[in-house]
Structure 1
Amino acid sequence: MTHINVLDPGASPLDYYGFELRRLREAAGLTQKQLGDIVNYTASLVGQIETARKVPTPEFSERVDVALGTDGLLSRLVDLVLRSQLPAWFQQVAELQARAIEIYSFETHMIHGLLQTKGYARAVLSALDATNLDDRTAVRLARRRIFEKEKPPVFWAVLSESALYQNMGGPDTMRNQLAHLLAFEANPRINIQILPFTAGAHAGMQGSFDVYRFASDPNIVYTEGYNSAHPTANPDTVNDCTLRYDHLQAAALSLKESVAMIRRVMEERYGDQQLA
């Protein structure tokens, strides 16, 4: 367990954040309890973050920035902290997502991580490992902040119809997750198409993949294995997956038809009548 008197700000982004939080709080002449009361968090939580035993959230950072007049320092740091808490094998992928100007994703059986709700993410992450679940969930959800940038990426997602039926976390969680997908209907930068079962054999049968496009760097294809990430800029692979994605989009339902299917599954499979 890290002790506050020996906290090394150079040890990790999390340690640096804790060191800065303590320094700023003490400079303001506040105890942990006083700061917690101001930002509506417990003194215990403030202390855990100061000692690098708890991962801060963007909301916590924003509230403390306002309370201490830090000019957004902690809000800028928290992105670095959260990215550093991702599994080592995924950190490069998170950086690619943060830099991409366009992201094209195909998912065979689940909702893409950038589109997941808190409940859905918790259900996925806890399938085999429920340790540090709050922190791990916060870290995953923080990846969605790329859509809050001044110039967010254009995101296209083709989801297999099976992703709508794979029950992650129960009917309430799934209903909220599908409602979350529907909320993007009017957002031209986040586009969701459903690949229906009726499409039969299709160009994505080898598995899920992402294509990242950048302003000046070569395009990159990302595939995922067991606890491993496989990004590649190999032109043949990129061209092959780009062609596959074109065919998947052509086989998928239109944006409007996809909205109708998501709404129908949400109401028929996860509606209130299913909870009786």
Structure 2
Amino acid sequence: MHINVLDPGASPLDYYGFELRRLREAAGLTQRQLGEIVNYTGSLVGQIETARKVPTQEFSERVDAALGTDGLLSRLVPLVLRSQLPAWFRQVAELEARATEICTFQMNMVHGLLQTEPYARAVLSVLDETDLDDRTAVRLARQQIFGKEQPPVFWAVLSEAALHQEIGGREVMLGQLRHLLSFQKNPRVNIQVLPYEVGEHAGLTGSFNLYRFEGDPPIVYTEGYGSGHPSANPETVNDCSLRYDHLRAAALSLRDSAELIRRVMEERYGEHRDSVGGPVA
């Protein structure tokens, strides 16, 4: 795509590229000069200006500071990243951004809002490694909802299987499980593990998310291969709400869940603890 025919109305990414070029030229800088100022290559600046590369939050903040844009590009980033999600998944990102409470049950892997960068990369690379950097950045950008002035209350019930499914290898799993433990003192992010010993449980049909809002009815979301299924049907919502209550009751307490995560780290992935429970290098 030639920069001169870039249509700012075509997509948020095109609009971002158009504005970046306009601001750079207004400052009298070449792509290379701007790249040198913000410590990126001129080639990357050109790729973003032509909507061939997705901008990161860090890149945007540096350019805003260099060009004195009063945060214009940084404010565009969430919109740009959300537009890069698969079309069927964009509604989920919007639900996450609006929700006051998110409840999720996950059977075999950690929820995207709790994933580390290496774990997310491993998940997204299965059968498709195209634009992997951009797709990983887009997934991680959803986690910015936890940094809002009023972040949602997040409840996650993870099947113990999610701790044992070795995604990305041993080191990736160790990092991912450490990340889960990092939320222990955050009262708005609560992680419980449903242990194997529970046997049959209310979530055997599969993973699901429940979103609650201020002033709007709750929505249940389930997912298939390449498709998402949101529903505000009261019967569906009531059924999944009841199932979630039973899952949360059957799961280990927050403290016991953390202890099980530590035990899996030690027994499954070989991380040893000192006498007070801290990891030993």
Q: TM-score range by the shorter chain?
A: over 0.9
Match of residue 239 from structure 1: 238
- Which moves more between the two structures, 38-47 or 164-173? 38-47
CA RMSD, aligned part only? 1.0
Residues 109-144 of structure 1: CA deviation (Å, up to 9, x unaligned): 000011011100110001111111011101111110
Q: Is the 8 A contact 2:265 2:271 kept in 1?
A: no
Match of residue 268 from structure 2: 269
In the TM superposition, structure 1's runs of 4+ consecutive aligned residues that sit over 6 Å from their partners are none
Match of residue 134 from structure 1: 133
Amino acid at match of 1:46: V
- Rounded to whole Å, the distance in 1 between the matches of 2:30 and 2:113 is 37
- Rounded to whole Å, the distance in 1 between the matches of 2:71 and 2:61 is 7
**TM-score after normalising by structure 1:** 0.96
Match of residue 275 from structure 2: none
Paired positions, count: 272
Partner of 1:184, secondary structure, is: coil
Match of residue 196 from structure 2: 197
- Rounded to whole Å, the distance in 2 between the matches of 1:164 and 1:115 is 13
- Rounded to whole Å, the distance in 2 between the matches of 1:68 and 1:267 is 49
By how many angstroms is 1:155 displaced?
0.4
Residues 118-173 of structure 1: CA deviation (Å, up to 9, x unaligned): 10011000111111101110111111011111111000000000000111111111
By how many angstroms is 1:72 displaced?
1.1
**TM-score after normalising by structure 2:** 0.95
Residues 203-230 of structure 1: CA deviation (Å, up to 9, x unaligned): 0000000000000100000001111111
Amino acid at match of 1:160: S
- Equivalence map 1:17-28=2 (5 Å): 17-28=16-27
Amino acid at match of 1:184: F
Match of residue 68 from structure 1: 67
Match of residue 178 from structure 1: 177
- Rounded to whole Å, the distance in 1 between the matches of 2:13 and 2:85 is 12
Match of residue 54 from structure 1: 53
Match of residue 99 from structure 2: 100
Residues 7-28 of structure 1: CA deviation (Å, up to 9, x unaligned): 1111111000000011111112
By how many angstroms is 1:267 displaced?
2.6
Residues 35-80 of structure 1: CA deviation (Å, up to 9, x unaligned): 2122221111111001100011111111211221111111111111
- Equivalence map 1:8-47=2 (5 Å): 8-47=7-46
Partner of 1:270, secondary structure, is: coil
- Rounded to whole Å, the distance in 2 between the matches of 1:46 and 1:166 is 39
- Rounded to whole Å, the distance in 2 between the matches of 1:140 and 1:79 is 11
By how many angstroms is 1:272 displaced?
5.5
Match of residue 218 from structure 1: 217
Match of residue 167 from structure 1: 166
Are positions 1:157 and 2:156 aligned together? Answer: yes
* Unmatched 5+ stretches in structure 1: none
- Rounded to whole Å, the distance in 2 between the matches of 1:211 and 1:87 is 20
Residues 76-105 of structure 1: CA deviation (Å, up to 9, x unaligned): 111111000000000011101110000000
- Rounded to whole Å, the distance in 1 between the matches of 2:10 and 2:218 is 34
- Rounded to whole Å, the distance in 1 between the matches of 2:23 and 2:77 is 15
- Which moves more between the two structures, 33-42 or 112-121? 33-42
Q: Is the 8 A contact 2:12 2:80 kept in 1?
A: yes
Match of residue 117 from structure 2: 118
Match of residue 228 from structure 1: 227
